[in-house]
Structure 1
C-alpha cells in the first residue's frame, strides 16, 4: 500500500479512529506522532461523538450517520455546527449534515442555509429621540422614526445651511421653499388590499427611498379633509384607519350584531345602550376598524385593562380566534 493509499484509508476510517482516540489525552496522541493541531481536533471530535452529553439519543443518530464521512468532512461539519447558539439546535444541525451523502460543497451550502434560518431576527429599533450631551463640545441628537417622516424632514432642510433651516422649522419661521415631489408606488393588488381594509398589512415604497403602510398613506392623504373613510362597493364603509377615533353608525350596528350584549362575563348590558370599545386601545395605536371594535358597557369599558403588557388586574377584552373574549 502506497503512502497516499494509506492516508486515504486513514481519513476514511473516521469513526473508528475517533472511537479509539476517545479518552486519550492530547499529549498521548502527540506521542503517537500526531501533530499538535491534529491531536487537538481528534480529541474534540471524539468528545462530540463518543463523550458524555445530555443529548445521548441525538448523539447516537449523529454517530450512525457520521460513519459515511471521512475526517475532513466531519471537521467541516463541526466548523458550521460550532456557530449555533444552543446545544439542541447544534445537535439537530449536526445530524442533518451527517445524513447528507453529497460532496463537501453540498454540505457547506446546506449548513449556511440552516445557519441563516437559525439566526434570530433583528428587532427594529424603537422610535424616539436620543440626546448626547458633551460637557465641552457640540451636542448630538439622534432621531429614530418612520422612514417617510425622516425623508420629508430631510427634504425640508437646506443642504447649504442645514442647522439654520432646521432651526427655522422648529420656530415655524421657515420661508416657503420649493416642495420636493416624491412618488408613492402603489401596485394594483396593493391598492385592492388597501381598499379592502388591509392597509396596515401593505407596505408601499416611495421614490425618496422611504416606505409607508397603506393605512398611513390614507391617513396622511385625507385626514386634513376629514375624508378618510374608505367605501367598499359591496361592504360599504370598511375602515377609518387612524384618522377618526369614533366608529360610524354602520360599524356600531355591526359590532352590536356580533355581540348583542356586553361580552364581559357575566354582564348582560344590551348592545343598544353600550359604548364602542377599541380592543387595542386608541392611545396605543389601535385602529377604528371592525376587527378592533366591540360593544362594551360603560363600566367594563372603564375598567378594561388597555395595556396587555401590564400586570394582570381586571383583565381585558380581546379577539381570540375571531371572537371577542375576556382574557387576563
Structure 2
C-alpha cells in the first residue's frame, strides 16, 4: 500500500495506490476516510483505517489519477528535522570526520514541495546542490524515549526526500549558516508516496540520484551511521516529535559539494530515487532577480 496526495497545490485529495484483484496497480480515492494525510490522521491510526477500507473494497477507483499533480504525501508537517553527515563517505567529501553523535538541524516546513514541482534556484545562488535522502514520517508523539524499540514503534512510514542545499549560504563566506542554506523555497520535495513502515525494510534501501540523466549518488541505507531507531531516540532527548513530523536521515556521497560535479544550473533536471519509495524529478529554473546586501538589520 502506498499513500499519496493528488491535485492542485492546497487542494490535494488523499489516495491509496495498491494492486487490484488482477494485480494491476490502481489509485483509489480515500476521501471517504479522511480529507488529508497529516499528523492528527496518523496519530488516530489512520493508516490502519485506510488499509481496512481498501481490503473491504470501500474505496472507489480514482479514474483521472494519472492526470493529476502529485503533491507531498504529507500535508505540511509541523517540523522538518534533518540529520547531517550520516554517511561516512559524504562526511569525507564534505571535509569532515564521521560524527560520533547525530548532527541535527531544522528546515522550515514551508520548504516542503511536491516531488515533480518545478524547483527555483535562488536568484543569488551559485552553489545549489542536490541530496537524496530517506525521510521518516513520525506517527505518534514521543519525548524522552527510553529504548530503541519505542523509537522504532514511532515510525508511521517513509518517503523519498531531496534536501536541496545552497552551499555558499550554508558553509563558507562571511555569514555561512546551515539555516540559511537549507531554508529556500521548495527546497524539500517529498514523495511521490508514503509507504507504511510495516511494508518496507528501511535498513536496506538503495538511494540514487541523477542530474540531466547522469548518475550522481548510489548508496544504501545500510550505510547509515545512525539508523532510524537511533535517530528518533536521540532526537526525543532534545525535542518533542509530533505525528506528521518528517525527519530527513542524511545523504550519501556524490553531491556537488564534493567538487566532482557542477552545481545545479538553470534548466537542469534532477532525479532522486529510493527503492520501493519511488522517484522524483525536478526541473530547475532561476528565480527572479534580487540584490545582495552588505549589511543586515
Q: TM-score range by the shorter chain?
A: under 0.3
- Using the size of structure 2 for normalisation, the TM-score is 0.21
TM-score, normalised with respect to structure 1: 0.19
Would you tell me which structure has more strand in proportion to its own residues?
A: 2
Between Structure 1 and Structure 2, whose CA radius of gyration is higher? 1
